Chain A
């Protein structure tokens, strides 16, 4: 199973950008990088994913290193509602049905 490494926790001030790192040194050429987040007492929700190029959507941006061994989830302006556990996941080619969640990064947003 492809593995990811994330810091256990991070803090950010409200309204400031947050960069959440993820290392995936054993990533294969077909692994997609997915990010999910889990708000308190809720199920995980999809945030963003990418393969090689940087990606943007309304929730966040994903910056992928050129060698693809690391990636960074960027929240441009953290709000209190962004306090959650953020999971970085590697998913093999579409249709392999297996998403393996690591320990994630608990993001605390300070008012």
Chain B
């Protein structure tokens, strides 16, 4: 029973298209994140949501729009895809405020923009 699951695992698309990545967590956590890992393997935080409220937006272009319909879901919609958007996108969750707070990651979505 996967704790943090994201779909699809692979996404190949053309420049200019719009695509979405879905993420769900069954851990009962109240905070969810999107991270981007580029070709050099740098892992950068993009967004953080706490109780469906946007907490962190790390200067991500407006083409990226996260949506959290409930605490268990955080989807990422990307408009007008560009070559530079090619990367692996990871969803994660945590229970904020706990002294043993730790991140749980999904297995990633590899996005290739052609």
Q: Footprint of B on A, CB under 8 Å?
A: 34, 36, 38, 41-46, 49, 85, 87, 91, 94-95, 97-101, 103-104
Chain B CB within 10 A, most for which of A43, A95, A99, A104: A43
Residues in chain A near residue B42, CB distance under 8 A? 101, 103
Interface residues on chain B, size class: 20 to 34
A42 to B103 alpha-carbon distance, docked (Å)? 14
Please name all residues of chain B whose beta carbon is closer than 8 Å to the beta carbon of A85 when the two chains form the complex.
Answer: 41
Find B105's partner among A34, A44, A95, A97 (CB 8 Å cutoff). A44
Residues in chain B within 8 A of chain A (CB atoms):
4, 31, 33, 35, 41-45, 48, 50, 55-56, 90, 92, 94, 96-108
Q: Are A97 and B31 in contact (CB under 8 A)?
A: yes
Contact A43 B96, CB 8 Å, known A85-B41, A87-B43: no
Main secondary structure of the interface of B (DSSP, over half): strand
Contacts A42-B108, A43-B108, A87-B43; A94 near B48 (Cβ below 8 A): no
Min CB distance, A104 to chain B, in Å?
8
Q: List 16 A-B contacts (CB under 8 A).
A: A41-B108, A42-B107, A43-B90, A43-B92, A44-B90, A45-B105, A46-B104, A49-B100, A95-B96, A95-B97, A97-B31, A97-B96, A98-B45, A101-B35, A101-B45, A103-B41
Q: Are A97 and B48 in contact (CB under 8 A)?
A: yes
How distant is B74 from chain A, measured CB to nearest CB, in Å?
Answer: 13
Chain A interface mostly helix, strand, loop or mixed? Answer: loop
A97, B56: Cβ atoms closer than 8 Å = yes
